[in-house]
Amino acid sequence: VDLEQAHVIVCTGLHDDDHETAEDYRDFIKEALKRKLPMLCANPDIVVERGNRLIDCAGAIAKLYEEEGGTTIYAGKPYSPIYDAALHLASSLTGKAPHPSRVLAIGDAIRTDIAGAVKSGFGSIFVLNGIHMHELGLSEGPFEKGLYEKFLNTVSYRPTYSIAHRSEEHTSELQS
């Protein structure tokens, strides 16, 4: 519905993520805040990798909405209901509930993928060549363990393992 008729905003992403950023939604956010509408963010990822580009996601809009004083409710990673649903589905397929120690989550975002795994008691594999590749120096050259260790010292959640998705010899080793 039009913003004037809405009771809640459900944010699933940008209308045109090839050409827009979250900043393009500032005017919309200001109008929504006048109505004190809550926002449900259906995907907390702030950015995703598309080729060699990082593009804004729903989480980027929700973050701006919160920063401007709006009420935001998040669904998806790293929040437990999404993992509960996944475990329930696994149980229905296998006939028994998987023990958290036997679950391995894979993702490229520390804030959502790895945080959700850690909070749920799962092991995790952090994909190095994802959204953090620039912070890890992988967009400029080969994997350097020193840069990786420095990066890990800046984050709140540590993965169990990490791996690069390139086939180069120096980045394809599983790091623990």
Q: pLDDT digits over 8-43, tens only?
A: 999 999 999 999 999 999 999 999 999 999 999 999
Distance between CA atoms of residues 31 and 12, nearest Å:
18
Query: 103 or 52: which carries more pLDDT confidence?
Result: 103
Asked if residue 173 has pLDDT above 80, the reply is no
Return the percentage of the chain with pLDDT > 90, whole number.
78
Asked whether the predicted pLDDT for residue 174 surpasses 80, the reply is no
- Residue pair 82/75 in contact (Cβ under 8 Å)? The answer is yes
Q: Any bridge partners for residue 125, and if so which?
A: 106, 161
* pLDDT tens readout for residues 58-101: 999 999 999 999 999 999 999 999 999 999 999 999 999 899 99
Residue owning tokens 């393009």: 24
- Preceding omega of 78 cis (within 30 degrees of 0): yes
Q: Coil, strand or helix: which one is 20? A: coil
CB 132 within 8 A of CB 110: yes
Question: Which residues lie closer than 8 Å to 91 by C-beta, 6 or more apart?
Answer: 97, 98
DSSP secondary-structure letter at 175? B
Rounded distance between C-alpha atoms, residue 147 and residue 164, angstroms? 14
Asked if residue 150 lies in contact with residue 136, where contact means CB atoms within 8 angstroms, the answer is no
CB 45 within 8 A of CB 58: yes
Average pLDDT for 95-114 = 94
